[in-house]
Amino acid sequence: MTDAPAVSRPLARSARPWDVLTSTDHKSIGLTYMGAAAVFLGLGGLEALVMRVQLAVPGNRLLSGETYDRFLTMHGTTMIFFVLLPLLLGFTNYLLPLQLGARDMAFPRLNALSLWLFVGGGVLLYLSPFTGAPSQGWFSYAPLSETGFTPQRGVDLWSAALIVSGYGTTLTGVNVLVTGARLRARGMLFKRMPMFAWMTWVNGFIILFALPCLTAVLLMLEVDRLLGAGLFTRGDPVLWQHYFWLFGHPEIYLLILPAWGLISEIIPVFSRKPIFGYEFVAWSTVAIAFLSFAVYAHHMFAVGLAWPVELAFGMSSMLIAIPTGIKVFNWLATMWKGSVRYTLPMLYAAAFIVQFTFGGVTGVSFAVVPIDWQLTDTYYVVAHFHYVLFGGSLFAALAGLHYLYPKITGRFLNERLGRWGFWLNVVGFNGVFLVQHLLGLMGMPRRVYTYPDLPGWGILNLISTVGGFILGIGLLVLLVNLIRSRTHGEVAGRDPWNGWTLEWLTQSPPAEGNFALLPPLHSRRPLWDLKHPDDMDHVRPRRHDKQGHGHIREEERGHR
């Protein structure tokens, strides 16, 4: 890298399908991850709508219990392992090298292998129904998933799908860690890394330690099913749950850290203020990564753990709310007295804050053991879970998609269609899941294919089903906007949001190799320094405005 002024060299990039399929360029791989995730989102969404139709009225017999369980298993597995995870890995692949000022990921060929292992896993998953669809749930509790209770061979393909895609994700974790450690541009110290890059780098550690737990327990299950070893039938009946949740709870943060990173990029740009408390946000991420492994057993309070164990995991579960709350307060403080502009990315980011915070607060309630005992097998859990991962992670990913679309395509999304899509998604999402809190508090169990006509249950389930179809329409509007704006959208240019980090320095879409030259890096906002050589961040690090206008500079008001 060099200290010369910024100039990006326009280079042509092939869009032929074969070149895309064989590419080792991080941007192409990132977009392929996102495209594959969109396909699986369509499949998982259709499965969810079938289940919501089944539950729309009491006593419905549209699906049998076994068929409903198969839809439930495929939906849960698809959304967690083949939608959210690859979608966020796609953002990581696309954005991390650009933010670090790197030409590519550290191991481009390994990166391509990771992608195709993920795709292969998805294919295996959707081949499984042809050998007897798995019906054991996405958590696949053994010994219920052993051949004695679930004999269909689809379970073996289900296991193979997660093992294969898990290897791909683990390799991606290695790639992210080495890229962040070794390929940062000269001058980009760890303390100057953009927040998305920092959070995805920390996420690499979670991947590296969590995914092997899942791979190991799946291999053990297959040893049981294929060779009759009896690891889960003759030993501790909750052994599976220990392994699974040692992966499963860090998995939640694995799906949320990159989402937080996107939000931490979007809010400062559209508030025209640097993120409030960078150091607190960064170190709280490290604390969360560590604590995510220390809270896993709060998923197991109902299995009869010893009370000191329940007490310890209850306390650690409450503790993790502190670094999480720090992030929420830092985002709000960044917006406070900022010059906030509610563009499409900012609308999705604002919805994320509200919905994720609500999901987080309901999650803390499960740290109280008696409350967990009462609610653990009810729809309250379903509502909480979706508020964190759909209202949180997926809405943050949609914010990131609207934010990066001009960089990816060189064009803006259509504003009118975008706002229609946003409001349909917000109304639809909350229509589906907000009422499920009430259903859970009223005692409706989860994982049931039908239910009796008890007071309130029918109307709340009907509202939830209608909300599901509104949400589906909202996602279709978004899809139409993505496709239409690719050719008809307004030309965006290289820096449409007046951004501060290196991805906005290069052309839109970026050429292979990303940068011809880079500017000197003296602060966390190299493009601010480049645009304001008389007011660079490292020369004026303390940004408090003595006139009572918060931390916003006068020249940043009105997005000038």
pLDDT tens, residue by residue, 172-227: 999 999 999 999 999 999 999 999 999 999 999 999 999 999 999 999 999 999 99
E-only strand ranges, 481-526? none
Degrees, nearest 5: CA angle 447-452-456: 95
Q: Determine phi and psi for 339, rounding to 5 degrees.
A: -90, 75
Average of per-residue pLDDT across 381-403: 96
DSSP-derived 3-state class of residue 212 = helix
pLDDT at residue 5 tops 50 = no
- Residue 510's SS3 state is coil
Residues whose CB falls within 8 Å of the CB of residue 202, separated by 6 or more in sequence, listed in order: 257, 285, 286, 289
**Could you tell me which residues come within 8 angstroms of residue 361 by beta carbon, excluding any fewer than 6 positions away?**
none
Residue with tokens 């006068």: 554
pLDDT of residue 18: 78
3-state secondary structure of 507: coil
Give dist(CA 468, CA 203) in Å, integer: 31
The residues facing 445 across adjacent strands are 378
Q: What is d(CA 90, CA 39) in angstroms, rounded to the nearest whole number? A: 14
> Left if phi > 0, otherwise alpha if psi is -120 to 50, otherwise beta: which for 149?
alpha
- In degrees and rounded to multiples of 5, residue 491 shows phi and psi of -65, 135
- Calpha distance 290→214 (Å, rounded): 18
Helices (H), 85-230: 85-100, 108-127, 154-182, 195-227
- The residue that leads in pLDDT, 16 or 523, is 523
Task: Find the range with the poorest average confidence among 42-51, 469-478, 512-521.
Answer: 512-521
**Per-residue burial over 423-438, b = 16 or more CB atoms within 10 Å of its CB, e = otherwise:** ebbbebbbbbbbbbbb
Instruction: Give me the pLDDT at residue 437, please.
Output: 97
Instruction: Give the span between the Cα atoms of 405 and 387, in whole angstroms.
Output: 25
CB under 8 Å to 98, separation ≥6 — which residues?
Answer: 27, 502, 503, 506, 510, 514
- Please check whether residue 296 is in contact with residue 244, taking contact to mean a CB–CB distance below 8 angstroms: no
pLDDT score for 234: 84
3-class DSSP state of 65: helix
Task: Report pLDDT digits (tens) over 430-442.
Answer: 999 999 999 999 9
Give the residue-averaged pLDDT of 59-88: 96
